[in-house]
Structure 1
Amino acid sequence: MTSMRKEADSLGEVKLPADALYGVHSLRGAENFPITGTRLSDYPELIQSLAMVKKAAALANMELGVLDSRIGGAITRASDRVIAGEADSAFIVDMLQGGAGTSTNMNANEVIANLALRELQRQPGHYALIHPNDHVNLSQSTNDAYPTAARLAMVRACPPLAEQLRLLKAAFLAKGDQFHDIIKVGRTQLMDAVPMRLGDEFRAFGVTVGEDIDRLLEVGNLLREINLGGTAIGTGINTPPGYVEAAVRHLSAVSSERMIAAGNLIEATSDMGAFVTFSGVLKRIAVKLSKICNDLRLLNSGPRAGFGEIKLPAMQAGSSIMPGKVNPVIPEVINQIAYQVIGNDLTVTLGAEAGQLQLNAMEPVIVFNILQSMRMLTRGMKVLREKCVDGIEADAARCQWLLEHSLVAVTAINPYVGYAKASAVAKEALATGQSLRSVVLAHKLMTDAQLDEAFATETLLGQKPT
């Protein structure tokens, strides 16, 4: 049988495994919120950031003389172990919870306290020497420690996300170069429009993806402003003089990220504006990716009864009943990621609006949704690039056939005959099956030389020499 220990809080006594690194508050949080099935342990980036906050607080408290160096040293070393991922399984609380993140903060406090106790040859739960609240949480409140850790986790997750945007941009631009010489039908509203290069279509994908790299990093900088040291509502109650500056300085050093103390800690404790703005950028990325994937699916459609201008890599059998069918599964999953991110953004918006007075109790759902969106976009773009974009092939013959059998060149005769006559030519050509050239010559609207000039590749692509 598993050996058990007892811990108590203001509600009473509980039993938990004797060697558990979590404590009574973590256990109550896990029991009260069996909601998503997604635990803190599933988001190690948040756990690491929480431990960085705890280490920075301990260093600041020791520097200011309010924490014994022996205890503070044990706390900082325990925090390092959490940062290294040694205690992820002890973070048992669900990501979604009531209490504005209190269960998450206490889970970190208890794990770090018990790791520190082990180092000092004490058993977990023997908090007389090192206490989760009195020592690990010294000069802090959930209301500044939790949002600070969340912001830090997002800041640290921005570079990997930006790198995937950069790599995806490069992949599309490479395809643009590869497909440069292929001329095809350009379409608006799913109808034939004017000729274009397939390479230009893919270069446009790369440009639109690349636009969000700078946007992401710019808006991500808003998250660097933190309310650490504001404690309960931003007034800084229970902190020693100089704590805010010291804590933020140590957190910047511990995390290797430039974090900034908010100018007004009361405002910063309740305001969720930076989260809303940042989530909006994630939504923007998702919308663009989904639109691109819609285009890829259309251009790949067929193989015989659709556009068929490109061939996406075949990743798996597409049907349990239709032999040989292959579906565009990678763009499809990116579409679904986008829908989730768009929904997450609405959740973040509603959560931010729902705060009252000096605190927003809905922070956990805001944090959960933003971290999920960042993770899904980062992973999704890697999959899109490696399993789809890099392997796309063009069907040049199909592009040429569709171009030759379309009426898109009719726009090029506008300058010679005017819009009305050009429209009549297109209508007659469509009805009779004749070529545009034949109809124009039959009505003596243009000469052969003029038609050659109008239908030259450079002219059709909008590159007519001046």
Structure 2
Amino acid sequence: MNATRTEHDFLGEMEIPAHIYYGIQTCRALENFRISGIPISTLTKFIQGMACVKKAAALANGELGVLSQDKCRAICQACDEIVAGKFDDQFPLDVFQGGAGTSCNMNANEVIANRALEIMGHQKGEYQYCHPNNDVNCSQSTNDAYPTAIRIALYAKLTQLIGDMDYLREALEEKGREFAHIIKMGRTQLQDAVPMTLGMEFAAYAHTLSEDMMRVGEARNLIAEINMGATAIGTGINSPAGYAELVTRKLREVSGVPVEMADNMVEATSDTGAYVQLSGVLKRCATKISKMCNDLRLLSSGPRCGLNEINLPPRQPGSSIMPGKVNPVMPEVMNQICFDIIGKDVTITMAAEAGQLELNVMEPVIAYSLFSGMKRLGAGCRSLVDYCIRGITANEARCRDLVYHSIGIVTALNPYLGYETSASIAKEALQSGRSLFDVVLERNLLSREQLENLLAPEHMLRPGSPLPAGTSSPAAPKG
């Protein structure tokens, strides 16, 4: 383990531990970027994406005759092993780094080159037989290989995120069906509004998730446009004719991602608009999911002094001093995940804006912010379902009592008594503490039968329609 090999670059020589697969440029970056303590090896989809890019490039270069078949086969085998997770520990670089991703690209080049050397029967560091730059990086630049790897990884992560969001949507939809018969009071501006069902509330949450899943899918389509073959700035320098089209096709085959070559390679090399678009979509998702969690916390507030319309499953004791207190910890942690994603949107926006001329050097922080945000949002969706949504129960009697004691149901009298009269009824009921029912009967404005019909909550759920079949309604209060 103490043996070393000597490697050099144009800055000088360095002794590299003989057993590691990365080389001098990765070691220099390890010295320079001791920032977060989070290695790129934690971004497994990105490592796999980089290996897919290198394999596609090797296949295209081999077919075009600029890379020998022996080197092509060895590089491809090394890439396959990386995709399988065999060399994750050989990607130790910090996720925060300067150089527009050059260190990540060279980390991959060095690992692949040294593993290819072993496959070909040589020692690590014998780069005269397979070189990180000349062979593994053939027809490439960091400026096309690195962002393409990011996009391959993002596409996979977005597919996973859509699945995580659908997991939450299905759970909310199920609660919508379970609570379809429970009439409750709707609220606007935290004030009594008009009746609805608890099922409608949860069905609305499910529908909003469906809409957001569509937006995520649209953003995923934008991510599939790549600049592979652009090399340094989009001109394709140092790549053979036909390489860009061929490597794009090879990458589709290798990765399974439906990548498409950008129409304008210069624009695609400098532009990070798709990342900004994706970040905005993630912010939209986070904002709406966080709002839903706020609602869950409000609806479950209590148990004696709040709304207490629903019960969240108890997960842990809620206080070190107040016995018996249970907090809504799962919606709370989801709120915090969402706040983090909303903050990352600012980081991504500023990083995208900070690119100058033909390249955006801030892609490392963009990539990390997107990857970490999606990972946490997906994990949050699944945890919210498993430890909260599935265990929610309804306090049906509480919901019913709040409806019948609400002033908001006076809205149903507007078409028959007019707004002014209805408002005066509401005011008198509120000031006297009596029910709307009693005030209307005392004023002799409607008969008991008419009033019972008009104030039946199920008649207020939709225009001209009774409740769905099977819906039960509590009897209206008498007198």
Q: Report TM bin, short chain.
A: over 0.9
Q: Is the 8 A contact 2:183 2:458 kept in 1?
A: no
Matched, 1:323 2:323: yes
> SS where residue 323 of structure 1 aligns?
coil
> SS where residue 14 of structure 1 aligns?
strand
Distance 2:22 2:364 in 1: 20
Matched, 1:21 2:17: no
Q: CA deviation at 1:126?
A: 1.9
Distance 1:320 1:271 in 2: 51
Q: Is the 8 A contact 1:416 1:446 kept in 2?
A: no
Aligned to 1:416: 416
Distance 2:458 2:301 in 1: 28
> SS where residue 127 of structure 1 aligns?
coil
Distance 2:465 2:280 in 1: 43
Aligned to 1:182: 182
**Structure 1-normalised TM-score?**
0.98
Aligned to 2:471: none
Q: CA deviation at 1:374?
A: 1.3
Distance 1:327 1:403 in 2: 26
Distance 1:93 1:414 in 2: 68
Aligned to 2:247: 247
Distance 1:210 1:202 in 2: 13
Matched, 1:307 2:313: no
Deviation by residue 1:78-129 (Cα, 9 ceiling, x = unmatched): 0000010000011011111110000000000011111111212322222111
Distance 1:322 1:436 in 2: 39
Aligned to 1:352: 352
Distance 2:124 2:331 in 1: 49
Distance 1:463 1:423 in 2: 21
Q: Is the 8 A contact 1:458 1:464 kept in 2?
A: no
Percent of aligned positions that are identical:
53
Distance 2:359 2:236 in 1: 14
Q: Is the 8 A contact 2:8 2:14 kept in 1?
A: yes
Q: Name the amino acid aligned to 2:408.
A: V
Distance 2:115 2:252 in 1: 24
Matched, 1:51 2:48: no
Distance 2:342 2:106 in 1: 31
Higher mean alpha-carbon deviation, 319-328 vs 236-245, is at 319-328
Q: Name the amino acid aligned to 1:258.
A: P
The within-5 A match list for 1:21-40 is: 21-40=21-40
Distance 1:465 1:401 in 2: 23
Q: CA deviation at 1:465?
A: 4.7
Distance 1:322 1:77 in 2: 61
Distance 1:286 1:457 in 2: 34
Aligned to 1:295: 295
Distance 2:404 2:251 in 1: 64
Matched, 1:74 2:74: yes
Matched, 1:105 2:105: yes
Give 5+ residue unaligned stretches, structure 2: 467-479
> SS where residue 195 of structure 2 aligns?
strand
Aligned to 2:337: 337
Aligned to 2:62: 62
Distance 2:177 2:262 in 1: 47
> SS where residue 308 of structure 2 aligns?
coil
Deviation by residue 1:339-367 (Cα, 9 ceiling, x = unmatched): 11111111111111111110011111111
Q: Structure 1's 13 and 465: CA in aligned 2 closer, same or farther, altered over 3 A? A: closer
Deviation by residue 1:155-175 (Cα, 9 ceiling, x = unmatched): 111221111222211111110
Q: Is the 8 A contact 1:312 1:392 kept in 2?
A: yes
The within-5 A match list for 1:225-264 is: 225-264=225-264
Distance 1:30 1:389 in 2: 44
Deviation by residue 1:394-416 (Cα, 9 ceiling, x = unmatched): 11111112222221211111112
Deviation by residue 1:375-400 (Cα, 9 ceiling, x = unmatched): 11111111111111111111111111
Aligned to 1:442: 442
Q: Name the amino acid aligned to 1:340.
A: D
Q: Is the 8 A contact 1:105 1:145 kept in 2?
A: yes
Distance 2:339 2:123 in 1: 48
Q: Is the 8 A contact 1:95 1:364 kept in 2?
A: yes
Aligned to 1:374: 374
Aligned to 1:122: 122
Aligned to 1:143: 143
Distance 2:394 2:381 in 1: 21
Matched, 1:95 2:95: yes
Distance 2:39 2:15 in 1: 21
Q: Name the amino acid aligned to 1:311.
A: N
Q: Is the 8 A contact 2:183 2:195 kept in 1?
A: yes
The within-5 A match list for 1:374-393 is: 374-393=374-393
The within-5 A match list for 1:204-215 is: 204-215=204-215
Distance 2:385 2:112 in 1: 40
The CA RMSD over aligned residues, in Å, is 1.2
Q: Name the amino acid aligned to 2:435.
A: S
**Structure 2-normalised TM-score?**
0.95
Q: Name the amino acid aligned to 1:344.
A: K
Q: Is the 8 A contact 2:29 2:103 kept in 1?
A: yes
Q: Name the amino acid aligned to 2:189.
A: Q
> SS where residue 245 of structure 1 aligns?
helix
Q: CA deviation at 1:324?
A: 1.5
Aligned to 1:273: 273
Q: Name the amino acid aligned to 2:167.
A: L
Q: CA deviation at 1:463?
A: 4.0
> SS where residue 148 of structure 2 aligns?
helix
Q: Is the 8 A contact 1:227 1:265 kept in 2?
A: yes
Aligned to 1:285: 285
Q: Is the 8 A contact 2:152 2:224 kept in 1?
A: yes
Distance 1:304 1:124 in 2: 70
Distance 2:7 2:428 in 1: 88
Q: Name the amino acid aligned to 2:186.
A: G
Distance 2:64 2:104 in 1: 26
